[in-house]
Amino acid sequence: MARINHQIITKRFRNKPAAVVACLFLLLLVLSPGPARADYLISTSNGEIVTQSYWILGDLVYLYEGFPPMEFSKVNSIKEGSFTDLEKGMNRDALKRFFHYSSWLVTKDEKIMLSQGENLKAMGTIDELRALKKTRSEIKKAVKALSARLDDLERQASTLKDYWRGARIPEKTLVIARDVKYLQLLSLRSSIRQCRRYLKTWDPTCREYALEYYRQVAQFEADFYEALIRHTQR
């Protein structure tokens, strides 16, 4: 029976403490250039709209003037004009709020990602119990405990996805970072569900899927920070 190399699949999360996360967000905030003015030209399939400001919440774009919100998928482009000093300050305040909220969510992200790493370790421990032909009661007890943790973690991941969905995004270029988080949490959920299937079927394919989805979680973590950095380079 193949052994799980937990050091490889969890080291990305262990090597990035919360202090490093906070410094990165601070750096992004300092380097992030303010848009040029409070007049934005929003181009859609139905025409163009000029607005003083906008924000994105979930799948909708909200406009300052109180127009009905529009679907983000129907926005082709958003072009900026030039800001007054006051408007620049307002824009940077909006960015600051977004980065602080995101930083808070990232600390929660890391906890649940590490928790799934621990669940994968526990799955490996159960494999060892089976290989040693331990009693059915011992294995059943370990499976029951792990199943409960998996259920709880999936609920946490679902709640966290709702938190990310509720993030008020001040600029269009930051949407991709949020969407990467969606994908990361979907991969985490898939890893959790494959663990659960493995415990029911003992199909080694489910175990390998659980590990692969968890590796994808780590890759999406890197993609998230790359998306933030690209925002500062626009």
Look at residue 39 in the predicted model and tell me its pLDDT.
76
Look at residue 3 in the predicted model and tell me its pLDDT.
46
Strand partners, 51: 40
Q: CATH 1.20.1420: which residues of the chain?
A: 6-32+95-232
Those residues whose C-beta lies under 8 Å from the C-beta of residue 98, and which sit 6 or more positions away, are: 167, 168, 169, 170, 174
Assign 216 to helix, strand or coil. helix
pLDDT in 10s for each residue of the chain, 234 residues: 444 454 444 455 554 545 555 555 565 555 555 444 457 889 988 888 888 888 999 999 998 767 789 999 999 998 877 767 777 777 788 888 888 898 889 889 989 999 999 999 999 999 999 999 888 899 999 999 999 999 999 999 999 999 999 999 988 889 999 999 999 999 999 999 999 999 999 999 999 999 999 999 989 988 988 888 877 666
CA angle 3, 109, 151 (to 5 degrees): 65
Maximum C-alpha span of the chain: 73
CA distances 29 to 8, 41, 84, 92, 100, Å, are: 32, 24, 19, 8, 10
Look at residue 225 in the predicted model and tell me its pLDDT.
85
In a 10 Å sphere around its CB, with 0-12 CB exposed, 13-18 middle and 19+ buried, how is residue 214 labelled?
buried
Sign of the C-alpha dihedral computed for residues 214, 24, 57 and 159 taken in this order? positive
Fold of 6-32+95-232: A middle domain of Talin 1 (1.20.1420)
Tell the residue number behind the tokens 């305040």, with chain if given.
Answer: 93
Against a cut of 0.85, is the pTM above it? no
The phi, psi pair for 50, rounded to 5°, reads: -105, 130
